[in-house]
Homo-oligomer: A and B are copies of this chain.
Amino acid sequence: MVINLHPTQEQIIEFCHSNTIIDTLNVDVVPMDDGSVHLELLVEEKHTNFCDICHGGVLTTMADTAMGIVCNERNKSVVTMNLTITFIRPVNKLVKITAVPRILHDGHKTMVCECDMVDETNKLFAKAQATFFVIGDFIKME
């Protein structure tokens, strides 16, 4: 018998903050009305590179975490095997950037996801694609 467990929004939010880097970088963990959880970032001085725009590594950190979250929402606990990100436009300070992840493949052993990094007008600033290794269930049964 397969019991299909769905983590609650609260569990997902708590999980996000268990990634300490998310708080180090001031990434906002935002509960959505549809039950999902979004990662958002208001770009500040602390996130910038030498061009005074958001460092690509910060966008990568958000994309990676956001893709992990959609895996968790399917009750899979995952680690990232590899990730590719293409940077399309500079993300200036004070821009609010949101990670919009999507599952491409939900396998038993691996998951494949992609993630759009967009602003409030839905303009695309970067796009990531990654493969994850499934290490177990997100919700541990007793």
Contact = CB atoms under 8 A, between A and B. Distances in A.
Interface in A36-84: 45-51, 55-58, 60-62, 64-65, 79-84
Interface string A74-104: 0000011111111111000000000000001
Interface of A is mostly: mixed
Nearest to A25: B24
A129 B131 contact: no
Copy number in the complex reads 4
A94 to B, nearest CB: 15
Nearest to A19: B49
Given A21-B48, A55-B65, 5 more contacts: A18-B50, A21-B46, A49-B65, A58-B61, A60-B64
Nearest to A90: B79
Interface string A13-26: 00100111100110
